[in-house]
Amino acid sequence: MRIAVLASGSGTILEAIIGADLPVRLVVADRRCRALEVASDAAIPAVLVDRAEFGGFGPAFERERYTRSLTGALADADIEVVVMAGFGTVLGQSIHTAFGGRILNTHPALLPAFPGWHAVADALDAGVTETGSTVHIATLEMDAGPVLAQKSVPVLPGDTVDTLHERIKSVERTLYPDTIRSFIDGLAAQVGDGRGSAQEVTE
């Protein structure tokens, strides 16, 4: 199973995935970021599909044209499973058409609670006593795909967004690679059993 990791930031999740010896064959970033350096240091091919060339970060952003370009880069590398690791761009329909059921994401909350970009702050504002990390299959609707794994994290007195998020990320760095491995092992077993094409084994 050839994995591509989509990243936008510091690359700490990417480092955890690489450190787990998963078959990462490509890293794709939507902006210049440290994750590209992490890929280079690990001798993994990396591609920058820069949002700046597709309208940037404002209302002029051409989401579907960007998505088609990124999906083309994945196809060129014969990627089979796509893993989002702190990827800051919501992608359009074309990637879900090409890789439906094979795009994984991680979210800093126990979905379906606190979807969206501000999950850690939302958990603190809600006064909950625990939150956590969720690994799920990404769908066109944000944070709404099938859950693959979850692990809870307590909310402690005096927690800030930064302290709570860091504890969630420490859990995520183990939970995510373990879940990715289970997912690709399951796909490989289905293919080995002769159950069909890349599209069929996700059904």
Alpha helices of the chain — where are they, by DSSP H? 12-19, 34-41, 63-76, 93-99, 119-126, 161-192
Task: Give the active site residue among 96, 107, 136, 165.
Answer: 107
Name beta bridge partners: 131: 153
What angle in degrees, to the nearest 10, is found between the helix axes of 119-126 and 161-192? 120
Residue linked to tokens 């944070």: 143
**Does the annotation count 107 as an active-site position?**
yes
One-letter amino acid identity for 130? E
Q: Would you mind telling me the total number of residues written for the chain in this entry? A: 203
Task: Give the C-alpha separation, 103 to 169, whole Å.
Answer: 20
CB–CB of 153/113 below 8 Å? no
Catalytic residues: 107
